[in-house]
């Protein structure tokens, strides 16, 4: 049974972290490069990130539960990494993204304070996403299970 759980954990982690890297660093840049309509590219990117956030919350929760069900007491670096990744999703999805949506809904005029604020929020969101991606890569490289 433990072997099947370990395989399931690897699959879940691979899908989650692979999604982070494929969407954030391949699909979204390609959207903005290939589509002339940057507004449409942004909408599509937002939908992909939204879906990935929900998947990440579910995957991270399952992996964290599995981690905590292992016999050893106390948090290890893997559990802390998962908690941090989940926290980054929550901040991006439920704090930063709504502020960005609100600014976009109000209309962004180049050079305006709203556009500048949107740019700062976008930069922060991208930085947090990068941290999440690197943390996930660490879990892939060093393993999700305690050894």
Phi, psi (rounded to 5 degrees) for 70:
-70, 150
| Domains held by the chain: number | 1
**Dist CA 130 CA 136 (whole Å):** 10
For residue 25, the model assigns a pLDDT of 98
Residue 124 in any domain: the answer is yes
Residue 84 in any domain: the answer is yes
Residue 101 in any domain: the answer is yes
**Dist CA 89 CA 49 (whole Å):** 10
Mean pLDDT value across the chain:
93
Check pLDDT > 80 for residue 79. Answer: yes
Residue 21 in any domain: the answer is yes
Indicate the pTM of the whole model.
0.91
Residue 147 in any domain: the answer is no
122: containing domain? 2-142
Over residues 8-28, mean pLDDT: 97
31-78 tens-digit pLDDT: 999 999 998 999 999 999 999 999 999 999 999 999 888 867 777 899
For residue 73, the model assigns a pLDDT of 74
């Amino acid at each position: 049974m433990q072997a099947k759980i370990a395989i399931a954990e690897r699959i879940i982690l691979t899908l989650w972290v692979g999604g982070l890297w494929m969407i954030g660093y391949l699909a979204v840049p390609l959207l903005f490069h290939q589509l002339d309509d940057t507004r449409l590219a942004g909408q599509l990117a937002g939908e992909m990130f939204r879906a990935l956030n929900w998947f990440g919350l579910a995957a991270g929760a399952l992996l964290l539960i599995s981690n905590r069900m292992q016999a050893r007491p106390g948090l290890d670096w893997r559990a802390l990494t998962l908690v941090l990744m989940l926290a980054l999703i929550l901040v991006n999805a439920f704090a930063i993204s709504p502020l960005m949506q609100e600014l976009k809904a109000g209309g962004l005029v180049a050079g305006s304070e709203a556009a500048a604020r949107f740019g700062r929020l976008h930069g922060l969101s991208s930085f947090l996403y990068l941290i999440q991606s690197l943390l996930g890569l660490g879990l892939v490289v060093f393993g999700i299970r305690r050894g």
